[in-house]
Structure 1
Amino acid sequence: MLPKHLLRPILFSLGCTLAFQAGAETADDTSTPEQVKAATTLQGQLPLQELRNFTEIFERIRSAYVEEIDDKTLFDYAIKGMLTSLDPHSAYLQEDAFTDLQETTSGKFGGLGIEVGMENGLIRVITPIDDTPAEKAGIRAGDFIVTLDDEPVMGLTLSEAVERMRGEPGSKISLEVRRGDENELLSFTLERAEIKVASVRTEMMSGDIGYVRITQFQEHTGAELKKALQKWTEDGQLNGLILDLRNNPGGVLDAAVDVVDAFISSGVIVYTKGRNPQSELRFEATADTVAGDIPVVVLINGGSASASEIVAGALQDHKRAVIVGTQSFGKGSVQSVLPLTETSAVKLTTARYFTPNDRSIQAQGIVPDILVEQSEVTPYEERYYKESDLPGHLSNPTVKAKNDVSEKTSVTKESASEKKDSGLLKKDFQLYEAHTLLRGVSILSPVRVNASEG
């Protein structure tokens, strides 16, 4: 998860010398007072015995390893080992990985379209991105990638696995995947493509229910959402909104804040806590709210991570939305990008996210208000005889004439809208439940927001 303000270069220096065998604990007679002071300060800050051990191992590898390895490669390995041992999200970003990270936050990159993480030495699919080779081939959130081009991923770092999956558009790669408790591996052959992630997708559903799907939080996500909401309210009426964050892996923090700010006008959205005071941030809503009164349902699942959880948690704590679906992924940590050179950087976990009610998202996620597992809608058809089926039944004196043109037009319009929804809703039970919930709310207390009402 990349806070936008942390993408600026952060300059820092590492003062460390490896020449300990010449006498690191005491200075010789020719040392200046400044050198003695510097050596004393260094001794107080760094674990000298551990550094001696490191240099000893480093020298043994250089001189005795079965194949010759240059010093730069060994130092790279050492840095990677330090970072990957901390947590699954800290990493040493060399040129390709650093470039990939910048491309991903901009919403355009080359590859398969899979958001992944490391778990038990295997690559776990957090979510496939919509309309990408991975999603089209049937890769699912929760799948474990076992091999890439017939080579095991066990032993690879996360950045190394991602680098292998990236490549020129049109080139192919084979994957073997373990899914759930299935014993047999699933095989996929994917053709890499240029991944252009559409951040916000919208659709108007029956009952004047707006549907917004956010696939990933990019720099302009908040502006795109507000533009869609303003268009709906200016064009007519809006009774409710479904905000679909399922399988959304996160993205830019500022974008998540902007999305929440579209629905609330005051209060805390999210804050962070870390050891370094600079990592402690607090984001609050502004009065620039375009949908302050519209009933909202937020859809989440196990593929909803990071920025998605910030949005769901904030709206849940402010009682601004009903959260529907299954428990989210639980990535509640902040990664800061610390550039070392123009082509390399350290991605270091520096803080944790907290919701307005002081809940940590880390390793817990967001628990939905209404738990709804995913399935297809399979209605059971029953036939009942009604009063109107009986021969000689009395007519209803309050029913309008069948030739009422305005009524027929209204019914036809609603039927067309419902027909458009029916295919999607039958395949997506979570969306069906969210839509049904908002239809019920709009029937009891219709909002009917338009531009003139503000």
Structure 2
Amino acid sequence: MNYFTSAAAKQRFLSFCVLGAFLFAAIGFTVGLLWMGNRYPMLKEPAFKQFTVSYNKIIKDYLNGAEPKKLINGAAVGMVSSLEDPYSRYLVEEKGDAYTQSYEGEIFGIGAELREEEGEFVITALTKGAPAERGGLLPEDIIMSVDNQKLSGKTFDDLLGLVRGEEGTNVSLEVQRANQAELISITLKREAIPVHTVTSELLDGGIGHVTISRFAEKTADEFEAAIKELQEKQPLKGLLLDMRSNPGGLLQPTIKIASTLIPKDKVILNVVYKNERQTISYKSKQEKEWKVPIAVLVNGQSASASEVLTAALKESAGATVIGEKTYGKGVVQAFNQFKDGSVLSLTEAQWKTPGGTWINKTGVSPDFAVELPAYTQLRPLAIGTEMKVGSYGEDVKTLQLMLKELGYTPTGQEGMFDKDTAEALRKFQTAEKLEATGSFNDKTGYQLLSKLREKLAKEDSQLIKGLDVLKNRG
């Protein structure tokens, strides 16, 4: 059947179809541009043309060649850095994976704690039942190589990158053991190693001392288990919650812990988003009444989520805060992880205490300001530091103060490593069964810090004040 009465009519119809097709294409192209512009507003920016031209120029003409993905990742890093926000960052691939894994409550490795000492990596402790212990590694073993890569000249982060990996994969180590000439070769299978963020102990008078080092995915569960274990030993008379030097972490476990300790429906915090377009008030969902008095220990390194919990307990649960003014981080980050592992962590809101205070750059003030002994403020001696007779400067001064605190007072000139300093150091080394050289090295430094920690455990003025407060309230 023929629908055209003439060749001219057929030609007009074909012309109309072609014109219509062009019109539809033009409209579609325009709509597409508008959609792209709305979905990707960066395309509207005049500077985007410069970015595109620069990218194409680098790909085409850069002498040494360039990887497109590396260029784009670099642009993303630079874009976030331009915000000049210390808390926003773009972490590329492996760094992004490491960032998210740090909050997951476990790592995939062998279960060995390490320290760096004079360029060597020494096993400090082993996780019970983990591959390292089962495989026969011992504290004080020195790891010499990982998967045939010698560790000489490697950093601590380099070592962690070599030892950690995918669950179920093998890692081969060579270790040096004291009094054995031959290196020991051992192959271990990586497993999920739990990273604990809560520790607890029962102190005199029925006081539960619970320390939270940071807030990760499983922190609330660990806290609940710690409280249960303490209460099974004896009914608690008080809770001493220690969040000194806790840098913060995830908000959800923080809220869950707060809900255990704060009366139901009391405010924990308020989160205020950009231009106050949204405010979310988080309230306690307490199921069982908490009747035990609470004291909180904090210091100048207690930040972010630890400040959230401190302020909430202080304002909504009547807890007593002891120690130093906290760091003062009153902003909230959200992070997005992409398929390649990269992470965008971006400041998206501020948080306020139950009473409406924004603590950013001001911190949470303690009810009782208590300083630790002066020796806790000594600056650490960097790994690899060596000192001997003739050395001088701030490191020598720090060493002399450490020795003085431990009862080995040098009588020479402050800041000068003279014969008196060498003799005092030699006495310390002898007492600690170290090689008595009278010179300072990493091994001696590690032992000095260990003894100072033992001393602080007996002289912790903030903890002592916390116990005193709880006993008087109980």
* TM-score, shorter chain, exceeding 0.5: yes
Deviations 1:324-356 (CA, angstroms, capped at 9, x unpaired): 111222233322222332533422222222221
Q: Which residue of 1 aligns with 2:271?
A: 272
* Distance in 1, Cα, partners of 2:371 & 2:61: 56
* Distance in 1, Cα, partners of 2:236 & 2:361: 36
- Name the CA shift for 1:350/1:431 in 2 (closer, same or farther; >3 Å): same
- Name the CA shift for 1:348/1:85 in 2 (closer, same or farther; >3 Å): same
State the 1:84 CA deviation.
2.5
Aligned with 1:168 (options 158, 163, 169): 163
Residue 349 of structure 1 pairs with residue 343 of structure 2: no
- Name the CA shift for 1:302/1:194 in 2 (closer, same or farther; >3 Å): farther
Aligned with 2:51 (options 50, 54, 63): 54
Report if the CA contact (8 A) 1:330-1:366 is conserved: yes
Residue 426 of structure 1 pairs with residue 458 of structure 2: yes
Tell me whether 65-74 or 270-279 shows the greater mean CA deviation. Answer: 270-279
* Distance in 2, Cα, partners of 1:43 & 1:314: 44
What code does the residue aligned with 2:28 have? E
Residue 35 of structure 1 pairs with residue 34 of structure 2: no
Q: Which has the higher contact order (CA 8 A, sep 6+)?
A: 1
- Name the CA shift for 1:253/1:57 in 2 (closer, same or farther; >3 Å): same
- Name the CA shift for 1:229/1:48 in 2 (closer, same or farther; >3 Å): closer
The residue matched to 1:92 in structure 2 has which SS? strand
Report if the CA contact (8 A) 1:270-1:353 is conserved: yes
- Name the CA shift for 1:252/1:73 in 2 (closer, same or farther; >3 Å): same
The residue matched to 1:338 in structure 2 has which SS? strand
Aligned with 2:68 (options 66, 71, 74): 71
What code does the residue aligned with 2:52 have? T
* Distance in 2, Cα, partners of 1:109 & 1:337: 20
Deviations 1:336-388 (CA, angstroms, capped at 9, x unpaired): 2223325334222222222211222433332222211111799xxxxxxxxxx
Q: Which residue of 2 aligns with 1:326?
A: 324
* Distance in 1, Cα, partners of 2:37 & 2:95: 35
The residue matched to 1:246 in structure 2 has which SS? coil
Q: Which residue of 1 aligns with 2:19?
A: none
* Distance in 1, Cα, partners of 2:268 & 2:125: 31
* Distance in 2, Cα, partners of 1:113 & 1:105: 18
Aligned with 1:211 (options 209, 214, 218): 209
Deviations 1:21-52 (CA, angstroms, capped at 9, x unpaired): xxxxxxx9895213213334655744331111
State the 1:307 CA deviation.
1.5
State the 1:235 CA deviation.
4.5
- Name the CA shift for 1:269/1:350 in 2 (closer, same or farther; >3 Å): same
After superposition, where does 1:88-127 map in structure 2 within 5 Å?
88-109=86-107
* Distance in 1, Cα, partners of 2:364 & 2:173: 38
The residue matched to 1:435 in structure 2 has which SS? helix
Answer with 1 or 2: which has the greater Rg: 2
Aligned with 2:294 (options 280, 293, 296): 296
* Distance in 2, Cα, partners of 1:247 & 1:350: 24
Q: Which residue of 2 aligns with 1:187?
A: none
State the 1:263 CA deviation.
1.3
Q: Which residue of 1 aligns with 2:133?
A: none
* Distance in 2, Cα, partners of 1:196 & 1:324: 30
Report if the CA contact (8 A) 1:110-1:166 is conserved: no
- Name the CA shift for 1:332/1:171 in 2 (closer, same or farther; >3 Å): farther
After superposition, where does 1:343-382 map in structure 2 within 5 Å?
343-375=341-373
Deviations 1:75-105 (CA, angstroms, capped at 9, x unpaired): 1110111123322232333331232123211
* Distance in 1, Cα, partners of 2:59 & 2:86: 29
Report if the CA contact (8 A) 1:375-1:430 is conserved: no
* Distance in 1, Cα, partners of 2:291 & 2:100: 36
Report if the CA contact (8 A) 2:263-2:316 is conserved: no
* Distance in 1, Cα, partners of 2:125 & 2:352: 32
* Distance in 1, Cα, partners of 2:159 & 2:81: 18
- Name the CA shift for 1:302/1:276 in 2 (closer, same or farther; >3 Å): same
Q: Which residue of 2 aligns with 1:305?
A: 303
Q: Which residue of 2 aligns with 1:184?
A: none
* Distance in 2, Cα, partners of 1:162 & 1:331: 27
Q: Which residue of 2 aligns with 1:261?
A: 259
The residue matched to 1:247 in structure 2 has which SS? coil
State the 1:261 CA deviation.
1.2
Report if the CA contact (8 A) 2:248-2:302 is conserved: yes
Report if the CA contact (8 A) 2:96-2:337 is conserved: no
The residue matched to 1:105 in structure 2 has which SS? coil
Q: Which residue of 2 aligns with 1:282?
A: 281
The residue matched to 1:109 in structure 2 has which SS? strand
What code does the residue aligned with 2:101 have? E
State the 1:299 CA deviation.
0.6
State the 1:244 CA deviation.
0.3
What code does the residue aligned with 1:332 have? G
Q: Which residue of 2 aligns with 1:180?
A: none
Deviations 1:119-153 (CA, angstroms, capped at 9, x unpaired): xxxxxxxxxxx989xxx9xxxxxxxxxxxx9899x
Q: Which residue of 1 aligns with 2:437?
A: none
Q: Which residue of 2 aligns with 1:188?
A: none
What code does the residue aligned with 1:55 have? T
* Distance in 1, Cα, partners of 2:346 & 2:82: 12
Deviations 1:200-237 (CA, angstroms, capped at 9, x unpaired): 21111112211111122233322332343344445433
* Distance in 2, Cα, partners of 1:329 & 1:162: 26
- Aligned pair count? 316
Q: Which residue of 2 aligns with 1:397?
A: none
After superposition, where does 1:72-87 map in structure 2 within 5 Å?
72-86=69-83, 87=85
Q: Which has the higher helix share?
A: 2
* TM-score of the superposed pair, with normalisation by structure 2: 0.57
CA RMSD of aligned residues (A): 4.0
After superposition, where does 1:400-419 map in structure 2 within 5 Å?
none
* Distance in 2, Cα, partners of 1:373 & 1:150: 39
